[in-house]
Amino acid sequence: MDISGKPTAVGRLQALRARTDAMVADLAALVGVETPSEDLDACAAGAEAVAALAYEVFGEAGEVVEVEGRRHLRWRWPQAPGRPRIALVGHYDTVWPLGTLARWPFTVDEATGRASGPGCFDMKAGIVQLFHAVAALDDRGGLEILLTCDEEVGSRTSRALVEEAARGARAALVLEASADGAVKVGRKGTGMYRLDVDGRAAHAGLEPERGANALTALARVLTALEAVAAPERGTTVTATLAGAGTASNVVPAHAWAELDVRVAEPREATRVDRELRALTTGVEGTRLRISGGPRRPPMPAGAGAALHARLAVLAAELGLGPIAGVSVGGGSDGNFTAAVGCPTLDGLGAVGNGAHAEGEWVSVAAMPERAALLAQLVDDLRG
């Protein structure tokens, strides 16, 4: 304790390290409830599990904010006069379909100190760390926690809640996963598009000339994407999924593809959108339809630079090693908090690797360290 009776930074870290086994058990409980983004029933069960864990760890289950059948979770503590508001943001949905646990259960490898299981790294360990950090605080005044269930699919129903939490806050601290310990000070903006080409079916052997081949037309459109991308400016346009046709002896009457767009500059999102919508197939009898558009604006590195500098000082006080600040291509809800003008530091969650990949893992030893670091940062921001 210091002379004010508050725990010292090192004392807080020691107390949280003593909770490591409990944190691993909490992580096992959350990973054990599968929460694929597109399954509303599964996400509802996940919301119950997250709320129950919050009640167990720091005594409050929070409120359910339901939007279009999706259950987002929120905790708000009154803001004392003159004290800043701080937003703590994360999500409990994952990219893994129901049934993944049957072949890939939660495990802890004692030899490596790694916990593994679907969604453990992105980002259920971040939720566990967040809850234990909040429990370690003497004062929760002015905090708002928002945990959503559609981040992995674009945050369509939760974006307004994320922006509301960030407006007027001193900082938004995002509990996304931290690859090899680095925090995110910048993120690219994202866009998702679907290309649909309509053509005309015909027998591929008897009279192919009577058809209008949608697959051939789509192929020509896809080859034009290279001219839309601008890697030198950080802009990528990537075809990720595609399909066409109904049978091997039928000229395809329909073909489709999905595109992933990443931009480092806001104006690039506008340019890419304009140029994609100007594309044509060049194949007589076919028609191109484009749906989708920009989803997340870029999070410029400046949005998190000052917070990263403060974090580095706090990490040193805790006796932790240097923490890198990086800009990455992946998007998160930190893009939205930064876009409304809120200083944002992302990647404050689990230390590990393998997001969205089989075998994603979390460093068990780093869980209490990151929880302590988050608690210190919250206290530091509140003065």
Residues annotated catalytic, as ranges: 93, 151
**C-alpha radius of gyration, the chain, whole number:** 23
CA dist., res. 70 & res. 264, Å (int):
30
**Contacts with 181 (C-beta within 8 Å, 6 or more apart), sequence order:** 321, 323, 324, 351, 366
How does DSSP assign 241-276, residue by residue? EEEE-SSTTB--SEEEEEEEEEESSHHHHHHHHHHH
CA dist., res. 200 & res. 245, Å (int):
11
> Tokens for 286?
């076919």
Q: Which residues of 18-36 are buried (b: 16+ CB within 10 A; e: fewer)?
A: ebbeebbebbbbbbebbbb
Phi-psi category of 306—alpha, beta or left, where left has phi over 0 and alpha has psi -120 to 50?
A: alpha
How does DSSP assign 149-211, residue by residue? S-GGGT-TTTHHHHHHHHTT-SEEEE---EETTPEEEEE-EEEEEEEEEE-B--BTTT-GGGS
Q: In angstroms, how far is CA 343 from the centroid of its own chain? A: 17
DSSP letter (8 states) at residue 80: P
Phi, psi for 279 (deg, rounded to 5): -70, 150
Instruction: Work out the widest C-alpha separation in the chain, in whole angstroms.
Output: 91
**Beta-bridge mates of residue 244:** 255
Phi, psi for 128 (deg, rounded to 5): -60, -45
